[in-house]
Amino acid sequence: MSYCINPDCSKPKNAPTVTHCQCCGAELLLRGRYRMIRALGRGGFGATFLARDEQLPGKPPCVIKQLRPSAEAPHILDMARDLFKREAKILGMIGNHPQLPRLLDYFESEHEFYLVQEYINGLTLQQEVKRGGPFTEAGVKQFLCEILSMVQYVHNNQVIHRDIKPANIIRRDQDKKLVLIDFGAVKDKVNPLQAANSDQTALTAYAIGTPGYAPPEQMAMRPVYASDIYALGVTCVYLLSGKAPKDLSYDPNTGELLWLEAVHISDHFAGVLQKMLEISVKHRYQTVEAIHRDLDLEPYMDSLAQNMAYPTAAGGSTSGNTNGSGPASVAGAYAGSSQAGISHSGGSPSSRMAAAIRARRERSNSGGKAAPLVPSHSGSPKPLSRATSAKALSADDVKQKYTKGRRDFSLQGFKELDLQRTMLAEINFNQSQLPSANFQGSDLSNANFGRANLSHASLRNANLVKAYFHYANLEGADLRGANLARASLSNANLRGANLCGADLTGALISSDQLAVARTNWSTVMPNGRRNGL
């Protein structure tokens, strides 16, 4: 089909071979080479179309974004031209990243501006949630693990995306990788003082992002890098709950999103999301590296409840790092510690978050106990880590507690644990010691093995779909026939691991990791093809 891009055309659909629209007479072959197939979306300043490049062999698909100014006044055209050139420049600059769309062409025609981009075939995360339901906590952590590196790349190029949302993230069919699209709202990083003391430019005023996903400072035309972090936090809430921001309540006094009761996640992860969603920019994560560091703090700290119950005598700051990372910053996100720049007053967002978490824990019937307190060098109470305070659990203990609803077995020490052919979906073994453990044939889908020691463990024929192995030690592990589809194996030690017959479709794993592991012709690689085919 040939699609007419004249906005006034009443019948834009035409036969695939005609050169002019049968309804309005407009030329259908843009710039003599691009034939529009269908409209992908329309907005206030133009439209986006799926097209084919008829000058290239095979007539490959591409995406054409049309920017049409709403007025023909010279200054409006100049503003639109500046916006167009800025987006083209940024796409050309960052398009070398394999998970960002490449800019193929750009041009101006009859006071309308066109960007031609690589076509990404796949479903958006919004479509995935609508079709398959919300993600699990492990699934959202896997999403963050992948998307954060892309956002870091964008920020390293002094660019603020300004429109991160589920509809702008596509899981590419070809390799199941996430691709961040739609850079129409991007903004070059500017000096905050200069921005505050000058009139807003036409470029800034043109696009401010999507209400609900954009934080207050961005809606007020003062975006910063942390604005993208807020949008990522709202995206995580959508993935966990299936609810868009407009479907959630807001605090009428502070404007903060009331999301906690809409999700079912660990307290530790709730604290990370809370800091991503802080209304105040200075209390929010400033960099994606800080989020990475706090996510790597797994497990979901039982001792945080004790930290909140025993503030320092002076009501002062929590000891530890002051750079927004590490255990102190996560505890500060709950308790409102001054090291994060948050008051201990009962009305602060963080203190309300802490109270909500405490209330939720009190309502829980999991039967888990917080770590005991011992004096620290400073004389204030300090929680013992669960790894040092809890006795080792047997396989029967794990089965019994899992059956009763417990999922968190992080920071535990196990020796030759035998849990073969056991249902353990969404279990958390983060940072646990599991050398030579036997999980043969077990269901470990969405399990969290971040930083766990699984050296020489048997995971043969196990269901490990969407499992999380970030920085795990899998040296010498038996993963023959395991289903590792969409599993996160980033930075895991796979030296000597046996992946013969394993399914790695869509898994996060590097070629260097595969090079030190054992694979054979029946290993399904991340691109969905068998090894060597």
**Does residue 295 contact residue 406 with C-beta atoms inside 8 Å?**
no
The mean per-residue pLDDT over the stretch 303-326 comes to 36
**Would you say 510 and 491 are in contact if contact means Cβ atoms under 8 Å apart?**
no
How confident is the model at residue 219, as a pLDDT? Answer: 87
pTM (2 decimals)?
0.57
Contact status, residue 279 vs residue 136, Cβ threshold 8 Å:
no
CA angle 284, 429, 391 (to 5 degrees): 115
Please state, in angstroms and rounded to a whole number, the distance separating the CA atoms of residues 54 and 17. Answer: 11
CATH of domain 392-533: 2.160.20.80
- pLDDT above 90 covers a percentage of the chain that reads 42
Pick the catalytic residue: 78, 82, 105, 163? 163
Compute the 3-state secondary structure of the chain and give helix, strand, coil in percent, each to the nearest 5: 30, 20, 50
Rounded Cα distance, 161 and 400, in Å:
47
Q: 122-300 falls under which CATH superfamily?
A: Transferase(Phosphotransferase) domain 1 (1.10.510.10)
Annotated catalytic residue 163: yes
Highest mean pLDDT among 173-182, 327-336, 356-365: 173-182
Positions of CATH 2.160.20.80 in the chain: 392-533
Q: Which of 114, 97, 217 is nearest to 162 (CA)?
A: 217
Beta-carbon contacts of residue 186 (< 8 Å; ≥ 6 apart) = 86, 87, 90, 159, 160, 161, 162
* Per-residue pLDDT tens over the stretch 122-142: 999 999 999 989 999 988 998
Give the residues across from 52 on adjacent strands: 35, 61
Q: Where in the chain is the domain with CATH 1.10.510.10?
A: 122-300
Residue 384 has pLDDT above 90, yes or no: no
Calpha distance 502→524 (Å, rounded): 6
Cβ(474)–Cβ(484) below 8 Å: no
Start and end residues for every CATH 3.30.200.20 domain found in the chain? 2-118
pLDDT of residue 407: 85
Whether 302 has a pLDDT exceeding 70, the answer reads: no
More confident: 230 or 450: 230
Beta carbons of 452 and 430 less than 8 angstroms apart? yes
Q: How far apart are CA 415 and CA 403, in angstroms?
A: 21
Q: Give the pLDDT band (50/70/90) at residue 339.
A: very low
* CATH fold label, 2-118: Phosphorylase Kinase; domain 1 (3.30.200)
292: pLDDT strictly greater than 90: no
Planar angle of CA 188, 190, 192, nearest 5 degrees: 145
* 172-205 tens-digit pLDDT: 988 888 999 887 655 544 333 333 333 333 334 4
pLDDT tier, 6 (very low <50, low <70, confident <90, very high otherwise): confident
532 by Cβ neighbours in 10 Å (0-12 / 13-18 / 19+) ranks as exposed
What mean pLDDT do residues 237-241 have? 96
